[in-house]
Amino acid sequence: MGRNLLFVNKHREIITEFLREMAGKEIQIDTAEDGAAAAALLKRREYQVLVTGLTMEGCNGEQLITYVNETYPNTVCIIYTTNVSAAQLHFFINKRNVFRVFLRPMNFHMEFTGALEEAFEYYEIKVRDNEKKALRQEKQQEYKERMEELERRLENQRHIRGEMVRYMRRLTIFSLKEYTGDRLSPEEEKRLEKFELGLIELCCKNEEEALQKAEKAVLRIGEVVR
């Protein structure tokens, strides 16, 4: 994608001046005379650099910059105005991520050209950083969904195992006792019931070990991802 720039100023003569100074540069420049018109252009395409004044009808420069920060975070913002206070300067640089502030009149060739080149380079850096951030967030979301699915499966297995154990325990009174010829003494019945419950636990042992290993795996994966 070639370089592009949106220049916003309420004065037509300043727009004309800017276009004249930028003539011959390989930059596609669009212009707007107020914040509303600029917002309409922003919706049509992504601009790498925004150069805006502050005092405009309706949506002013501060509101436009805030809108760009929130909606088009890659776009690099530059202020070009006739007057700005120290408090405004601090606010725009520290709170609104403004890249540079220039006051009219200025020497475009001495001051602005170098800053504009840096702004386009900064745009490329922001794009790469945001792409990496989006990729990390996508991977984290994918991991979260996988872990949630695994947890649902583990919980389902634990539920099935619990139901099976409770069912088999209810059957103990009908199992081996039915095959004894003589009536068992209370002590023998107790030992037999203990033996049957031991068989049930043995049948479930492998499944329980598998569940424990899966749970440990979830914890290890979580430590790595974090």
Q: Which residues form the domain of 209? A: 137-225
Predicted model pTM: 0.64
Least confident stretch, 29-43, 131-145, 173-187: 173-187
Q: Which of 106, 129, 160 is the last residue of a domain?
A: 106
> Residue 193 domain-assigned?
yes
More reliable by pLDDT, 3 or 182: 3
Number of H helices, E strands in the chain: 6, 5
- Rounded distance between C-alpha atoms, residue 102 and residue 35, angstroms: 19
Can you spell out the DSSP letters for 20-53? HHHTTSS-EEEEESSHHHHHHHHHHS--SEEEE-
- Rounded distance between C-alpha atoms, residue 170 and residue 163, angstroms: 11
Give tens-digit pLDDT for 62-78: 999 999 999 999 999 99
Mean pLDDT of the region 174-190: 61
Question: What tokens appear for 72 in the block?
Answer: 């088009």
H-type alpha helices, 27-112: 35-44, 61-71, 86-95
Structurally, the chain folds into a number of domains equal to 2
Average pLDDT, whole number, for the chain? 82
